[in-house]
């Protein structure tokens, strides 16, 4: 548990997610698998409101300790629950993140579908996981039986659940940064007009 108060090995993923999401003061941010709430804390300084979920009671408590002020001020809601059934309504967030959690999911698509559902049109999603490759196989992937995917598989899944502007890139042979957007209403309209021509 101490590790999740200062998850030194995770700061690259936090930086990548914050760079990708370009959070601003109108954003409603959501984090799936928030652990000790350190990325959440960094994100909350930039946004209007936040929501976070983790299935571990201990992690939810740690996140609440690390984000007490935002919770007391009514800016942040932290829930114990499953990434595959997010407890929020469709279109209720504008930016969503997940760091170092996706590889624990036995089935990859339910969580991605849920993230897509809760994002408002124009919303952004950024996630860091591990790529299925040599380095993962000889280190953590093997050790913890993680569910890992190639960049191509990950991009296909994101596109399949509806994301556009998808970008999947692996750094240092192992850290896989994934990004996608939900089309804005205007983009959907333009697409329909082009298709009708």
Ligand X SMILES: C[S@@+](CC[C@H](N)C(=O)[O-])C[C@H]1O[C@@H](n2cnc3c(N)ncnc32)[C@H](O)[C@@H]1O
Give the helix/strand (H/E) hosting 30. strand 28-32
Give the Cβ contact number of residue 126 at 10 Å: 24
- Which of 99, 136, 168, 178 binds ligand X (CB under 6 A)? It is 99
The CB-of-57 to ligand X minimum distance in angstroms stands at 9
Spatial contact of 51 and 79, defined as CB atoms under 8 Å apart? yes
Q: How far from the centroid of its chain's Cα atoms is residue 128's Cα?
A: 7
- Which of 16, 67, 94, 100 binds ligand X (CB under 6 A)? It is 100
What string marks each residue from 27 to 66 as x (binds ligand X by CB under 6 A) or -?
A: ------xxx-----------------xxxx--x-------
Rounded to 10°, the helix 151-161/109-118 angle is 50
Give the Cβ contact number of residue 73 at 10 Å: 8
Taking contact as CB under 6 A, which single stretch among the options 100-108, 133-141, 144-152, 179-187 is the one that binds ligand X? 100-108
Tell me which DSSP letter residue 142 carries.
Answer: H
The reply to whether 16 sits near ligand X by the rule CB under 6 A is no
Residue closest to ligand X (Cβ): 35
Which of 28, 111 has the CB closer to ligand X? 111
- Which of 10, 49, 51, 182 binds ligand X (CB under 6 A)? It is 10
CA-to-CA distance for 25 and 76, rounded, in angstroms? 14
**What are the residues binding ligand X (CB under 6 A)?**
4, 7, 10, 33-35, 53-56, 59, 82-83, 99-101, 104-105
């Amino acid at each position: 548990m101490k590790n999740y108060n200062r998850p030194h090995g995770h700061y690259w993923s936090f930086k990548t997610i914050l760079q990708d999401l370009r959070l601003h003061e109108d954003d409603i941010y959501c984090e799936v698998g928030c652990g000790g709430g350190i990325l959440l804390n960094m994100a909350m300084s930039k946004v209007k409101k936040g929501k976070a979920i983790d299935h571990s009671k201990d992690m939810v408590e740690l996140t609440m300790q690390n984000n007490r002020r935002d919770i007391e001020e009514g800016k942040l809601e932290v829930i114990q629950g499953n990434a595959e059934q997010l407890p929020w309504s469709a279109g209720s967030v504008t930016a969503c993140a997940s760091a170092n959690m996706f590889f624990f999911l036995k089935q990859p698509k339910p969580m991605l579908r849920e993230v897509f559902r809760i994002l408002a049109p124009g919303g952004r999603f950024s996630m860091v996981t591990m790529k299925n490759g040599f380095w993962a196989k000889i280190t953590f992937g093997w050790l913890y039986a993680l569910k890992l995917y190639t960049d191509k598989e990950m991009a296909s899944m994101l596109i399949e659940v509806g994301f556009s502007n998808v970008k999947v890139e692996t750094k240092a042979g192992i850290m896989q940064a994934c990004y996608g957007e939900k089309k804005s209403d205007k983009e959907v309209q333009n697409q329909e007009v082009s298709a009708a021509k």
